[in-house]
Amino acid sequence: TFRTGVLIGKDFPAAVSNMARDTIFPEDLAAEFDAVVMAGGAEQPRDLPVPGRELKGVHFAMDFLPQQNRVNAGDKLKDQIKATGKHVVVIGGGDTGSDCVGTSNRHGAESITQFELMPMPPEQENKPLVWPYWPTKLRTSSSHEEGCERDFAVATKRFEGKNGKLEKLVACHVEWKDGKMTEVPDSEFELKADLVFLAMGFVSPVQQVLDAFGVQKDARGNTKATVEGESAYQTSVPKVFVAGDMRRGQSLVVWAIREGRQCARAVDEFLMGSSVLPR
């Protein structure tokens, strides 16, 4: 049985709580079921704690993108974040940032600029150097092709505005040496910005869920659990298992698939004493 629109736990921000139709508490799940698996994503976005972060117009990407999905599905939103006629800056060069570019284009943004903290990668990867790891190369999505300016090795220093409303950002170019980032002298610049979307990845699972279950966490805020042995994928709380991003942090879907299969076997062994499921 799939139940959507459900929050597990309490003390969620109002913006999240308003999207849920129901709230379930972990102790109720533990009383009703013989095993519980936490297999959500790493949904806690990485923030940018610079001066002016509180200005109106600076948003997490995932405050922006789900709203458009809901509108596309026919929902009516009272305070949708709209990029129409605005100067938009997207901070972050991954898939989420690309989605912000594409959605802003469809809204009819006046301008769109995307910043990436890392240097511009080569157009063709050095396969012998990076194999078997994910190749580092310049990736241009269909969203980029629709139109935007892209700038690399850029660090945002602060946001500025008037009367609590964002008007511009101040950034600089950086260079990387021996894994350390330093500001390029005399490279500071300003850019007009009405909307800024923070698309810099995710740092951990939603802490309210982990805290509600009372599971032990690692230093990065993920659920602590091993992947081998008799207690594989078991948390510090009896009957509660964990797999994927909620255990390892933000990662690839192939890891989620692998850990999901292995966790299923671990649950089967826990309930039945043995398992024929593949690992």
Pair (177, 244) in one structural domain: no
**Residues 36 and 53 placed together within one structural domain of the fold:** no
**CA–CA dist 143, 155 (Å, integer):** 22
Let me know whether 182 and 96 are in one domain.
Answer: yes
Cα end-to-end span (Å), the chain = 25
**HEC sequence for the chain:** CCCCCEEECCCCCHHHHCCCCEEECHHHHHHHCCCEEECCCCCEECCCCCCCCCCECEEEHHHHHHHHHHHHCCCCCCCCCCCCCCEEEEECCCHHHHHHHHHHHHHCCCEEEEEECCCCCCCCCCHHHHCCCCCCCCCCCHHHHHCCEEEECEEEEEEEEECCEEEEEEEEEEEEECCEEEECCCCCEEEECCEEEECCCEEECCHHHHHHHCCCECCCCCECCCCCCCCCCECCCCCEEECCHHHHCCCCHHHHHHHHHHHHHHHHHHHHCCCCCCC
| Higher per-residue pLDDT: 12 or 265 | 265
CATH number of the domain enclosing 196: 3.50.50.60
Per-residue confidence (pLDDT) for residue 245, from 0 to 100: 95
Question: What are 198-218's pLDDT values in tens digits?
Answer: 999 888 898 889 999 999 999
Residue 22 pLDDT: 84
Residues 58 and 177 in one domain: yes
Asked if residue 158 and residue 54 are part of one domain, the reply reads: yes
Its domain, for residue 179, covers: 45-201
Question: Is it the case that residue 72 has pLDDT exceeding 60?
Answer: yes
pLDDT tens, residue by residue, 233-267? 999 999 999 999 999 998 888 999 999 999 999 99
In a domain, residue 24? The reply is yes
pTM for the model? 0.77
Residues 262 and 54: beta-carbon distance below 8 Å? no
170 with 84, same domain? yes
Q: How far is CA 247 from CA 35, 38, 66, in A?
A: 17, 9, 24
According to the model, what pLDDT value does residue 74 have? 92
Q: Is there a single domain that holds both residue 37 and residue 54?
A: no
Residue 215 forms part of a structural domain: no
- Pair 68, 21 in one domain: no
**Residue 51 belongs to a domain:** yes
Give the span between the Cα atoms of 213 and 64, in whole angstroms: 29
